[in-house]
Amino acid sequence: MAALAIAAGAIGYRLMDAPSVGSTVTPSQPSDPLAALERRAEAEPDNAAAWQELGFAYFELARFGDAAQAYERATQADPDSAVLWSSLGEALVMASERDPMPPAARQAFRSALALDRADPRARYFRAVEKDLAGDHEGAITDWLALLADTPPGAPWETDLRRTIEQVAKINDIAVTERLQAAAIGRPDTPPAMAAIPGPTPDELAAASSLRPNQQREMAEGMVERLAARLENQSRDIDGWIMLMRSQQTLGRSNEARAALAKALAANPNERERLQAAAQTLGIL
């Protein structure tokens, strides 16, 4: 059960906190973005992207059962998308109150891997399945293989390492040298990630001369200034993508998703580009 307990934090797919009382969205709000997503999905039942966005919104609100239903509609509209199947599987896992890995979730992950054997979310949860069955060594082996295929700096890298280390510690399995071996020969940052705006070389050089806590403060200050600028320059697509990437790097998945929502609201014609970047960053 150890891996499942931190499953939502692994490979960049974090369990979202329930919305605070002050931020609760209600259907009566005229500008309610959730209601708008619901209306769009119902009006376009064959639009997989509409159901995917609705599922994402429900998941963010910890409405996992509703998220699973939305993702199921998305897979019906586009059965050839591995991302949609693995998203459905994760939502089904989180929605289940009794079975930690319900049969429908297992099948969803199998469907994802049949379409794309590299899908990181499906690979992660298939290893969770092994861990739940008592095959802790097999689960760790699979997670290490996933780590070996993970480009350095990928949004899910830190969480994946933590999963391996925690499950290994609980089950008294040595992984230090195996983690080091998995890091050898790992792929470079993929072109899709390289194309996402990030810090300039000068900014990286300046940060490298600071102590870790100062680097964090510098990064947070840059992110806050960028977010403030985008409030007045909401058409800056590169700026929004940089903000999403920065928030993910700082471990702020909630803020990264909020940035995506704002970017989409301000730039509906750039939906495809923004969503592609979000998927690369592990936000969707």
CA–CA distance, 241 with 239 (Å, rounded to integer): 5
Q: Of the candidates 153, 188, 223, which is a domain's last residue?
A: 188
User: For position 76, what pLDDT does the model report?
Assistant: 96
One-letter amino acid at 60 equals E
Read off the tokens for 83.
């991302």
Are residues 113 and 224 both part of a single domain? no
Q: pTM (2 decimals)?
A: 0.62
Domain count, the chain: 2
Say which range, 127-136, 167-176, 250-259, has the weakest mean pLDDT.
Answer: 250-259
CATH classification at residue 108 = 1.25.40.10
Same domain? For 26 and 60 the reply is yes
- As a whole number of angstroms, the distance between CA 137 and CA 172 comes to 10
**Is the domain of 7 the same as that of 123?**
yes
Which three-class secondary structure state does DSSP give residue 118? coil
- The residue from 145, 164, 188 where one domain ends is 188
157 and 84 share one domain: yes
Q: What is the pLDDT of residue 30?
A: 42
Q: Are 23 and 83 within one domain?
A: yes
Question: For the segment 89-143, what is each residue's pLDDT rounded down to a tens digit?
Answer: 999 999 998 899 999 999 999 999 999 998 888 999 999 999 999 999 999 999 9
Identify whether residues 148 and 211 lie together within a single domain: no
18 and 59 belong to one structural domain: yes
pLDDT per position as a tens digit, 215-246: 556 667 777 888 888 888 888 888 898 888 87
Residues 29 and 163 in one domain: yes
- Domain containing 22 equals 1-188
Least confident piece of the model among 16-20, 24-28, 179-183:
16-20
The residue among 126, 153, 188 that closes a domain is 188
Pull the structure tokens for residue 76.
């019906």
Residues 50 and 183 grouped into a single domain: yes
What is the separation of C-alpha 26 from the centre of its chain, rounded to a whole number of angstroms?
A: 25
Spatial separation of the C-alpha atoms in residues 201 and 205, rounded to whole Å: 6
Q: Evaluate whether 186 touches 152 at the Cβ level (below 8 Å).
A: yes
Segment (H or E) for 113: helix 103-115
Residues 142 and 84 placed together within one structural domain of the fold = yes
Residues 159 and 119 both lie in one domain: yes
Residues 208 and 158 in one domain: no
